Structure 1
Amino acid sequence: MPETPPLDIPDDGKLVANITYFARALRKAGLKIGPGRVVDAIRAVEAAGFSERRDFYWVLHASFVSRPEDRAVFAQVFRLYWRDPRYLEHMMSLMLPAIRGVQEERSAKAGEKRAAEALLDGTERDLPETGREEEGETEIEVDATATASTEERLRTLDFEQMSTAEITEAKRMIARLALPVKPLISRRTFAASAGRLPDWRRTIRSAIRHGGEVHDFSSKNRRPRWPNLVVLCDISGSMSQYSRMVLHFVHAVANRKGAGWAKVHAFTFGTRLTNITRHLAQRDVDAALTAAGAEAQDWQGGTRIGACLHDFNRDWSRRVMGQGAVVLMISDGLDRDPVVDLARETERLHLSARRLIWINPLLRWDGFIPKARGIAAMLPHVDSFRAGHSVASLADLGQAVAMARDTGERDRLLRLVGNETG
C-alpha cells in the first residue's frame, strides 16, 4: 500500500487547529466523529482549497456528517465557527441566564442548544456573586420551594429545544413509559368452572354419558384477545427530531412485557414506506434505531403522505390490521400530494382500524389552526388528534387508547375549520 503523502500546510498555520477544535465541538454536540475523520477532513480541505465559504462548508459537511439528524447541529455549530457575533450572543444567551436580548427575540431553533452546549463548554453558567451588599441596597431573597424539578421540567420541554444531555435524560424517561391496552372480548369461548355463560353443548354431552340425566351444568367464558398496535411515523425533515423520540417510545412499548399488545408493527414514511418492525425486536434501543435508520433511506427528505398511505393500505393493511388494531400516526400533516388522494387514503385507513390516533407536534403551538389543506383533509377521518412534542404528551397517549370517546383536539379544530369555511 503506497504511503500517504504529508499535508502541504505550514506548521505555524492555524487551519489544522481550527478544524480540530470544530470537530471536537461537533463531537460534544452528539456527532460520531473520531480522529480518522478529523484527518480526512483536513486532507479534504487541502484538496478542495479554501476559495469560497460555501465550498468549505460542504467539504466539512461531507467529512463529518454521516446521519441525517446531524445536519441541523452541524449547520448551527458551523455558523459560530465562522464567528457570527450576533449568533454567538444568542447562543450564549441559551447557556447563561445573565445574558438577555437575543434570547428574548426568538426561541432556540433545532440543534442550537446542543451547539451552544458544545461550543461554550466550560463557560460558567451561574450568575456572578455580588459579594457584599452595597450601601442602600436591599437583599432580595428568592423562594425556590415551588421550583419544578429537572425531571418535571423535561416532561413538558419541546424535543426540539433540548440539549444533548436533556435528550439523553428524556430518552431514559421515555423508556419507562407504558402504553397499556385493555383486551377485546371475542366471540370464542373457553370452558370455565365458574363461568358467566352456560355451556349447553358440554352439559348435554355429559348428560348423554350418564343415561340422559343432567348432574351439573357446565359453564364457559368468552376468550379475550389482544389487539395489534400499528405505528406510522413521518421521518421527513420537519419531523426528524420528533420521529426519533417517538420511535424510542415505540421501542419501549414493543419490548415491555405485559402491556397487552399482541404485536407492535412500525412503519416509517417520507417519500416511501419502510417496514422497520423486525428492528424493534432488538433489546438495545440504539442498535434498533440505527438499523431502522439504515433501512429507511428517506430520513429528513420530502413528504408524500398520500402515496405512502396508499402503499400501506394496498400492501400491509390486511396483514397487520387484524384483531382490532389501533393505529398511531405521527406526522405534521404537511404533504405535497393531492388533497383528494390524501383524504381517500386516510379514510380507508380509518375504516380498517379500530381506532386511528393522529399525533401532531404542531399542536404545541398555542392557537394552532389547521389551515394547511393536508391537515384539514385528514382531520375528519381520525378518532383522536393529539400533540406529540414532549415526554408528557407521549405519556398521555394511554388515555387516548383506553378511552374510546377521547378525541383530543379533533372536535375543537373541526369546529374552527367549519367556522372559517362557513
Structure 2
Amino acid sequence: MLAGAAALVEIDLGTRGEVHAALRATMVHRHEHFFIFDQAFGMFWRDPEAARHASAMAMMEGMQEQQKPPPAARRLAEAMQGDRPKPPKPAEEPPEERVDMTFTVSERERLQNMDFEAMSAAELAAAKREISRLVLPLDARPTRRFRADPGGPFTDLRATVRNSLRTGGEILDISRRRRVVRPPPLVALCDISGSMARYAQILIHFLHAVANDRDRVHSFLFGTRLTNITRPLRHRDAEVAFEAVAKAVPDWSGGTRIGDSLDLFNRLWSRRVLGQGAVVLLITDGLDREGARGLSEATERLQKSCRRLIWLNPLLRYAAFQPKSQGIRAMLPYVDEFRPVHNLASLRELVSALSGPQAGRMRSAA
C-alpha cells in the first residue's frame, strides 16, 4: 500500500490508465493475480448498473463465453460486496423443505479436500478452526535421562546405596528406574515468498496450534532472509501472535532465497534446536530465484543434522507434477519424505505420519 501511494504521487491522477498501471505494478506480485486486480479496479470505478446492462447486451448479441475466473476471484467479489446492505426478508417465509441427503457429500467432507487456494473467506475461516483443533502426538523417543520407578526395568545402584544409609547400611529394598521417553523437538521452516504466501498464512495457523499444544517447537519463516518466530507463536491468543509475527517478518510475499536461508539456519540455529532427534518440516515449493546455488549442500547438511527431514510442497496437488526446476532437483535427493500440503486432508495425513513409530530414515519418491 505504501508503494502504491508513493507511485500515485509520480503520475497524473487525472489519467485512469496511468493510475491503473502504477497500482498494478506496485501491488501485484504474481502473474495469476493480474486478472483479479483488473477485475477489482473495474468493479471499484464502474457504474453500479453497468454490469446488469452488459450482461443483457451479451445475451442479446450472443457474445462468446468469458474465460473462467481464477479461484481467488470469488474472495474478491465477497470483499467488494461485504459492506452492502442485505435485502429485506419477505414477510412470510416459505415452509422449510426437507431434502434427502442420502449418498451426498457433507460440507465438512468437501472442506477437507478443497485446496486452500480455492477457498472463499468463510471457508478459510472454517479451515482455520479445524486446524486449531488438530492434535500432533509426535512419536516419543527414549532419551539419556532416567527417572525413579518402582516397576522400572533398570536397577538404580546409587539410589539403593543411598537409601540403605537410613537403615545403618543394610539393604532392605532395591531401587529401580526407567528411561525417560518424550517426543522429539519439531522444527518448521516455512517459505513465505510470493508463490507460497497463500499457503503460508494457513500453515502458520497450524504451527500456532502445535506450538501451544506441546513444548520444544521451533518455527522459522524465510523469503529473502530467515526470521525466527518461535517466541511470538507461543502466545495463546492467535490474533496477538499473528500480529507479532507480522511485525517481525519484513519480507512477506517477496522473493525466495532457499539456499541462503537454509545455510544461515545451519550456521546459526541447527546446534541449538536440532538436538535429541529433531524432526524438521521444510515447507516450500522449491522455486528459488537464485537457482540451485548452494541449495544441495545446505539441504544435505540439514538432513544430516536431524532425524527426519520432511518436505511439504503444495505443488504435489497436481497429478502431473514433475520435479523439473533446478531447486526441486537439488533438494529432493536429501529429504526423507516428500508430501503435499494444500488442504486439510493433507495436514491430517501429516499428523498421522508424524504420530506413528518410525525406525530410521525413510524415503518416498515424488
Q: Is the 8 A contact 1:274 1:296 kept in 2?
A: yes
1:316 aligns with 2:279: no
- Identity among equivalent positions (%) equals 47
1:267 aligns with 2:220: yes
Provide the rounded CA distance (Å) in 2 between the counterparts of 1:343 and 1:359. 17
Q: Secondary structure at the match of 1:333?
A: coil
Provide the rounded CA distance (Å) in 2 between the counterparts of 1:161 and 1:408. 34
Q: Secondary structure at the match of 1:339?
A: coil
The equivalences for 1:129-208 within 5 A come to: 144-206=101-163
Q: For the structure 1 residues 223 and 275, does the alpha-carbon distance in structure 2 shift closer, same or farther, using more than 3 Å as the test? A: same
Q: For the structure 1 residues 79 and 182, does the alpha-carbon distance in structure 2 shift closer, same or farther, using more than 3 Å as the test? A: same
Amino acid at match of 2:141: L
1:285 alignment partner in structure 2: 238
CA displacement, residues 240-288 of structure 1 (integer Å, 9 cap, x when unaligned): 11000000111111112xx4xx322111111111111121122222332
Q: For the structure 1 residues 343 and 315, does the alpha-carbon distance in structure 2 shift closer, same or farther, using more than 3 Å as the test? A: same
Q: Secondary structure at the match of 1:412?
A: coil
Structure 2, gaps ≥5 residues long: 56-63, 87-98
Provide the rounded CA distance (Å) in 2 between the counterparts of 1:395 and 1:407. 22
Which aligned segments of 4 or more residues in structure 1 are displaced greater than 6 angstroms?
A: 120-124, 406-409
Q: CA deviation at 1:172?
A: 1.1
1:77 alignment partner in structure 2: 40
CA displacement, residues 174-230 of structure 1 (integer Å, 9 cap, x when unaligned): 111121113321122122222121223333444576566543222111122442221
Provide the rounded CA distance (Å) in 2 between the counterparts of 1:113 and 1:407. 45
Q: For the structure 1 residues 397 and 59, does the alpha-carbon distance in structure 2 shift closer, same or farther, using more than 3 Å as the test? A: closer
Q: Is the 8 A contact 1:48 1:59 kept in 2?
A: no
Q: Is the 8 A contact 1:400 1:407 kept in 2?
A: no
Q: Secondary structure at the match of 1:238?
A: coil
Provide the rounded CA distance (Å) in 1 between the counterparts of 2:251 and 2:100. 50
Q: Is the 8 A contact 1:384 1:400 kept in 2?
A: no
Amino acid at match of 1:343: S
Q: Is the 8 A contact 2:136 2:355 kept in 1?
A: no
TM-score normalised by structure 2 residue count: 0.78
1:108 aligns with 2:65: no
Q: Secondary structure at the match of 1:171?
A: helix
Q: For the structure 1 residues 208 and 60, does the alpha-carbon distance in structure 2 shift closer, same or farther, using more than 3 Å as the test? A: closer
- The higher-RCO structure (CA 8 Å, 6+ apart) is 2
**What is the count of residue pairs matched by the alignment?**
333
Q: Is the 8 A contact 2:139 2:356 kept in 1?
A: no
More deviation, 163-172/285-294: 285-294
Q: For the structure 1 residues 215 and 315, does the alpha-carbon distance in structure 2 shift closer, same or farther, using more than 3 Å as the test? A: same
More deviation, 358-367/115-124: 115-124
The equivalences for 1:15-414 within 5 A come to: 48-56=12-20, 58=22, 74=37, 76-81=39-44, 108-109=70-71, 111-119=72-80, 144-206=101-163, 213-256=170-213, 259=214, 262-339=215-292, 341-403=294-356, 405=358, 411-413=364-366
Structure 1, gaps ≥5 residues long: 1-30, 32-36, 93-100, 125-141, 414-422
Q: Is the 8 A contact 2:147 2:177 kept in 1?
A: yes
More deviation, 177-186/351-360: 177-186
1:138 alignment partner in structure 2: none
Q: Secondary structure at the match of 1:201?
A: helix
Q: CA deviation at 1:82?
A: 6.6
Q: CA RMSD in A?
A: 3.7
Q: Secondary structure at the match of 2:251?
A: coil
Amino acid at match of 2:319: D
